[in-house]
Structure 1
Amino acid sequence: MSSILAGLRSLLPSRDDYRGLKTGWRGDLVAGLTVGIVALPLALAFGVSSGVGAEAGLITAIVAGLVAAVFGGSNVQVSGPTGAMVVVLAPIVVLHGPGAVAVVSLMAGLMVVAAGIFRLGRAVSYIPWPVIEGFTAGIGIIIFLQQVPAALGVENTGHSSNAVVAAWQTLTEASWPAALLPLAAVAAVALIMLLLDRFVPGFPSSFAAILIVSVVAVLMGSQLPNIGELPSSLPAPTLPAFDGAMLASLAGPAAAVAALVAIESLLSARVAATIADTGPVNADRELFGQGLASVASGLFGGMPATGAIARTAVNVRSGARTRVAAIVHALALLLVVLVAAPIVGAIPLAALAGVLMMTAARMVSWQTAKRVFSSGKSSAATFAITLLITVSVDLVVAVGIGVAVAAFFALRTLGNMSGATREPLPGEAAPGDERIALFRVEGSLFFGAADRLVEAISDEEGVEVAILRLSDLQIIDATGANALAGLVTSLERRGVTVLIKGVQAHHRTLLERLGVIRSLRDPHHLFDELEPALDHARDHIRRAS
């Protein structure tokens, strides 16, 4: 019981979370304000792009950002709405309506909280690098395609939930030359961001681009569609309406959202830990905190939240050392809602689309893709398959299949490194040695390599005694042990006496349980050293002659 309580305490905030605040509070304050400026346009854009509105995106950045900062497992993680989440939520909005998002946020949040409690935080470490890069590139492509309607001034209603199909439908519906105006706004945002990033690195280029384009649009009396009216305060928390049928229909989408929250948040926290020495990351607590953040966001009418890699990186590089920076970021966004809601409401949707298109383009790194493809055919195939399934099917399915493909290639490589090799008998030759076969079994004897071992040894002819050297066998699973038992039984039926040498202590229990030892003609045919086994084999040949 005490260990359970200690485990639960490790998921809760403590004084150690703010250990560096006395010396680093200035850096935290500056970093929090900086990342708040960066997060504002992204929060608005992700809310609009997901179909639930700019208000929901802003609420998520504030509420979830604050809760995750306090309860999360990283000292510098910044959380809120993200592009990957938009990709998952957009089809949910199309199928179930905007009201379902808050319910999904609650359901997914509780799942992620449970994952933290049950210590599943280390699971993300099993996702291979090519899968992560393929997943990220696929998300970037989808986000870019999702902005096509806003970039062309087309109402995004009645389109397919698949981003590729929806983008094509938009292109066929666009009204020319009216579409040139929103396209010009998108191009202006992209150009401003490129120039600022080139000549003023570190400056919040997305915020500046939206500000400039919005001011120009207002001064010119442009008819570009804008965000519209935003509330001047946060709504009161309330439980969204739902029923049993709704919960059943949303169970699958909620599980997909929960998986995405866990994967993206843990990856983001891991990336942050590599940028600067900002303290350890508690993966289980990160899940716990991100789950609570999504629950809180859902209660306020927001979206599910995850750790945001780009904003977290800005936070760290701006000098953040404690979670106070992420708290300041959330409070800065709250101040925008309280003071500047009417101004924010005038931002053109095309300007937000431009920001997201630039964000998406940066997610698709050609240099990273080149590195993946140059690292081997298996990595390239894993990357490509993950990317294609991400774009064409589903994000979580893509990760699952990507991991399965990577596992297949890894097992194939492991299997190719395993096998049985016939070796010459040591020492001086004796009469009848040609009827004795010494096999070195090495590597891994598992379900992917067991058949190859059986074929290699069974194909030998003219053998009366077979010695199996297992001392170099590193891994053996149930399939391998069962195949080995079947091999021994088959050889003994053919009149071949089998001797086994060098069974490692940690393999012995499995071999005994699956009948490998029992399948030997005599229990004394098990040896620790090669010399006694060879003496026994030669004695057997002499007696049989």
Structure 2
Amino acid sequence: MSLFSNLRGNLFGGLTAAVIALPLALAFGVASGLGAAAGLYGAIILGFFAALFGGTRTQISGPTGPMTVVVAAAVASLGGDVGLVATVVLLAGIFQVVFGFTRLGRFVRFIPYPVISGFMSGIGIIIILLQLNPLLGLPSDAAVLHLLVTLPSLLPQTNPWALLLALAALAIVFFTPARLAKVVPSPLIALVVLTPISALLQLPVETIGTIPAELPELVLPDFTLEHYTVIVSLAFTLAVLGTIDSLLTSIVADSVTRTKHNPDRELFGQGIGNALCALVGAVPGAGATMRTVINVKSGGTDRLSGMIHAVVLLLIVLFLAPLASKIPLAVLAGILIKVGVDILDYRFLRVWKASPRSDLMTMLTVFFVTVFVDLITAVGLGIVLASLLIVYRITKQTQIVLEYAGTGSQPDLDGENARIIRINGAFFFGSSTFFEHQANNLLDTKTVIIDILNVPFMDITAIFTLKDLIEKLKKDGVKVIIAAPDAFTEKLMRFNHEKRFENVTFAPSLQSAVALI
């Protein structure tokens, strides 16, 4: 399909996406600590290059809630040094390019849903909490715990005009009729209505301030060994969050357009875009779900729509910057609170009572660690916790049974001293301990049949456990027969370096194994 085959649809899709992206880019730029212009140029640069090089044809990229939260933490941790923050963003972009070349993107689909749910809801709460100060006309605070501790003492300093504007913005973004919001996005209505009112009445509230109506200046990334650990950890966090955020949006885009994205190419495009954002001090971002869906619904079918969205934003910066500079921060706070509310995972929250306790525990753990510790720890801890719970479930479902002569499934088993160890289920590190426990009951046994015919998979821990048991049985003069599929027999023989399987007899079925006694 030609890039210009649907010029009208892509033009309208890109224009609509730009209208929606404008207030969000301004708000995310202010929330990041880098300024409104940094948010706008993040949407422009990432939006253009991610669309050009990315692997999701209809994706609209720009600053997002998760990325903004980490950038704000980077600005706070690095003392507001733009050069050091640019290094974090540049390194994050490089990490994403590496993720793309090493094909790590396809593993995002294996992240358990409770982890994603806790992570997204945690980010939503962070965004809401961090906007409480601007909503009240107070100085912004980038640390959730510090904000919660200091907010009560700052309440007497509340600016009533800022609070009034914020409440008006909240009313607009929450209660604008859906039919109207489809034509004009509610965040844009809040900006267009409340900014002139604030300016005409000369309300004593903080505004965005000057936005240069020109192309951004080059920012040279800086690097110091003193901040090495902070820079690398923040960059890796940005890269991981950007990867998760973008590829989840790509999956949504696939479901809407009934197409299939290329995750590796998408990460390459996101990485290039974010790396270029670093060079102008812009806010990095990721694929934005709401903007992507609206682009598709408005007629966008190709990467041209994402590029048009970026060009439209650039024209707004160059020609309408003086008007945007008068936007009150309290109005942006109201818009961002709506963003935070929308990010909360209502899909899981609606069914939390009926969900398995292990999934609920995972979700809550990730949620609280996200809000009160940091995001990368939350994702890592959530994946580890979910993995351990899966191992526990699989282990519980694995049956390891010791059968004696004349009992169980082989009532005609000859010999008083013959035994069968039957394994039904996964034979891996989780179940190998119970296998050892059962093997310890093989007292006064002359022949042992180890039945692994119903084992779907076997890991290296299980193989070593099996080899150790065979060596012990050999020393006791016990004959060992293994009933196993041919594929498992070949696999075990590949691990026969210590010659432990030399005196073991393999049989393709339990009946043939019994006949060998």
Q: Which one of 130, 155, 167 corresponds to residue 146 of structure 1?
A: 130
Give 2:251's aligned residue.
270
Give 1:499's aligned residue.
481
Q: Hey, what's the Cα distance between the residues in 1 that align with 2:104 and 2:130?
A: 32
Q: Sequence identity, in percent?
A: 33
Q: Hey, what's the Cα distance between the residues in 2 that align with 1:526 and 1:347?
A: 78
Any idea what the Cα deviations from partners look like across 1:396-454, whole Å, max 9, x if unmatched?
Answer: 11111111111111111111222322454667747x54432223222111111101112
Give 1:414's aligned residue.
394
Over the aligned positions, Cα root-mean-square deviation in angstroms equals 2.3
Q: Which one of 236, 251, 266 corresponds to residue 255 of structure 1?
A: 236
Given the superposition, is the C-alpha separation of residues 72 and 534 from structure 1 closer, same or farther in structure 2, using an over 3 Å criterion? same
1:314 shift after superposition: 1.9
Q: Which one of 136, 149, 157 corresponds to residue 120 of structure 2?
A: 136
Q: Which amino acid aligns with 1:207?
A: L
Any idea what the Cα deviations from partners look like across 1:232-264, whole Å, max 9, x if unmatched?
Answer: 112244534545655665222212212222221
Give 2:99's aligned residue.
115
8 Å Cα contact 1:47-1:56 kept in structure 2: yes
Give 1:350's aligned residue.
330
Any idea what the Cα deviations from partners look like across 1:324-365, whole Å, max 9, x if unmatched?
Answer: 111111111111111111111111000000000011011113
8 Å Cα contact 1:390-1:398 kept in structure 2: yes
The answer to whether 1:360 aligns with 2:345 is no
Unpaired runs of at least 5, structure 2? none
Q: Which amino acid aligns with 1:57?
A: G
Q: Which amino acid aligns with 1:446?
A: F
Given the superposition, is the C-alpha separation of residues 516 and 242 from structure 1 closer, same or farther in structure 2, using an over 3 Å criterion? closer
8 Å Cα contact 1:458-1:491 kept in structure 2: no
1:461 shift after superposition: 5.3
Q: Hey, what's the Cα distance between the residues in 2 that align with 1:365 and 1:112?
A: 26
1:508 shift after superposition: 3.0
Given the superposition, is the C-alpha separation of residues 369 and 427 from structure 1 closer, same or farther in structure 2, using an over 3 Å criterion? closer
Give 2:281's aligned residue.
301
Alignment of 1:384-395 (within 5 A): 384-395=364-375
Given the superposition, is the C-alpha separation of residues 77 and 405 from structure 1 closer, same or farther in structure 2, using an over 3 Å criterion? same
1:477 shift after superposition: 1.0
8 Å Cα contact 1:482-1:514 kept in structure 2: no
- Of the structure 1 ranges 200-209 and 53-62, higher mean CA displacement relative to structure 2 is found in 200-209
1:113 shift after superposition: 1.5
Give 2:211's aligned residue.
230
Give 1:530's aligned residue.
510
Q: Hey, what's the Cα distance between the residues in 2 that align with 1:458 and 1:503?
A: 25
8 Å Cα contact 1:51-1:98 kept in structure 2: no
The answer to whether 1:483 aligns with 2:440 is no
Q: Which one of 231, 247, 270 corresponds to residue 290 of structure 1?
A: 270
Q: Hey, what's the Cα distance between the residues in 1 that align with 2:358 and 2:496?
A: 34
- Of the structure 1 ranges 416-425 and 323-332, higher mean CA displacement relative to structure 2 is found in 416-425
8 Å Cα contact 2:120-2:345 kept in structure 1: no
Give 1:29's aligned residue.
11
Any idea what the Cα deviations from partners look like across 1:468-523, whole Å, max 9, x if unmatched?
Answer: 11221111111111111222333444554332122432453345526797267x34
Q: Which amino acid aligns with 2:97?
A: V
Give 2:447's aligned residue.
465
Q: Which amino acid aligns with 2:362?
A: T
Give 1:338's aligned residue.
318
Q: Which one of 70, 77, 80 corresponds to residue 88 of structure 1?
A: 70
Q: What TM-score do you get using the length of structure 1 for normalisation?
A: 0.88
- Matched positions, count: 511
Q: Hey, what's the Cα distance between the residues in 2 that align with 1:122 and 1:427?
A: 46
8 Å Cα contact 1:446-1:478 kept in structure 2: yes
Unpaired runs of at least 5, structure 1? 1-15, 538-545
Q: Specify the SS of the correspondent of 1:448.
A: helix
1:53 shift after superposition: 0.6
Given the superposition, is the C-alpha separation of residues 428 and 289 from structure 1 closer, same or farther in structure 2, using an over 3 Å criterion? closer
